[in-house]
């Protein structure tokens, strides 16, 4: 009887060890790995995420669209960050937005931008971005005011029109090439 009890105890210990070693071998899912990496450091490029999360290129491109669809992760200027409130870097988002506006439309110096328009550009309440907005206003030489001059919507509309013009130009060029080949 003692020997049977001892064998049973050994078997239980072996099963526990096997369970522990198999649980140690279990790894996080790819989406969890991406989120853990982004919680530690953000924003990151896709290559940086793949290296730090130790996931393949294919796994990244299979997982990331789902995280973006669920609005858990978002991409700003080819870098990814967590989109859930409390994890994003407002300063980075605002800076990226302003840099893209400057690249497309020139310098903002002596221009007035409303806090509300800046908040809408990053999808956060004005009170959450106020400190970062004033810091960036000093950096880029614009003022924070009650309304934007010219309105950001006008900037976005002109950007959209220029994109449409470029697309139409490329379509016309492709049609000309096609007609030349067929002639």
The pLDDT, as a whole number, for residue 18 is 54
Question: Residue 16: what pLDDT?
Answer: 53
In the predicted model, what is the mean pLDDT of residues 107-134?
A: 80
- What are the structural domain ranges in the chain? 27-82, 90-152
Helix (H) or strand (E) holding 76: strand 73-76
Helix (H) or strand (E) holding 114: strand 112-114
Q: What is the pLDDT of residue 50?
A: 93
Question: What is the percent of the chain with per-residue pLDDT over 90, rounded to a whole number?
Answer: 9
Give me the count of residues in the chain. 183
Q: Checking DSSP bridges between strand 79-82 and strand 143-145, what pairing results, if any? A: unpaired
Transcribe 142-164 into DSSP letters: -EEESS-BS-HHHHHHHHHHHHH
pLDDT cut 70: percent of the chain above it: 71
pLDDT of 21 higher than 60:
no
CA pair distance 67, 31, nearest whole angstrom:
7
Most confident of 89-93, 113-117, 162-166: 113-117
Query: Is residue 22 predicted with pLDDT exceeding 50?
Result: no
Q: Is the pTM of this model over 0.85?
A: no
pLDDT of residue 110 exceeding 80, the answer is no
Residue 1 has pLDDT above 50, yes or no: no
Average pLDDT over residues 33-60: 89
SS3 category, 6: helix
Q: Which is more confident, 51 or 122?
A: 51
Cα distance between residue 29 and residue 47, in whole Å: 18
Query: 27-82: what CATH class?
Result: mainly alpha
51 or 121: which leads in pLDDT: 51
Q: How far apart are CA 39 and CA 10, in angstroms?
A: 42
Q: How confident is the model at residue 84 (pLDDT cuts 50, 70, 90)?
A: low
pLDDT tops 80 at residue 166: no
pLDDT at 23 (0 to 100) = 42
Decide if pLDDT at 6 tops 60: no
What are the counts of helices (DSSP H) followed by strands (DSSP E) for the chain?
Answer: 8, 4
């Amino acid at each position: 009887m003692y020997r049977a009890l001892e064998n049973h105890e050994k078997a239980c210990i072996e099963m526990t060890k096997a369970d522990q070693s198999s649980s140690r071998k279990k790894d996080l899912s790819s989406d969890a790995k991406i989120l853990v990496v982004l919680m530690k450091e953000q924003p990151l490029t896709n290559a940086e995420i793949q290296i730090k999360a130790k996931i393949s290129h294919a796994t990244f491109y299979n997982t990331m669209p789902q995280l973006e669809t669920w609005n858990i992760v978002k991409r700003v200027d080819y870098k990814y960050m967590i989109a859930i409130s409390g994890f994003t870097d407002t300063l980075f988002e605002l800076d990226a937005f302003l840099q893209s506006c400057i690249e497309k439309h020139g310098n903002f110096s002596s221009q007035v931008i409303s806090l509300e328009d800046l908040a809408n550009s990053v999808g956060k309440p004005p009170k959450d971005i106020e400190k970062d907005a004033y810091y960036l206003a000093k950096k880029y030489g614009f003022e924070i005011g009650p309304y934007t001059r010219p309105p950001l919507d006008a900037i976005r509309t002109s950007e959209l029109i220029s994109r449409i013009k470029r697309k139409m130009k490329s379509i016309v060029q492709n049609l000309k090439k096609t007609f030349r080949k067929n002639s």
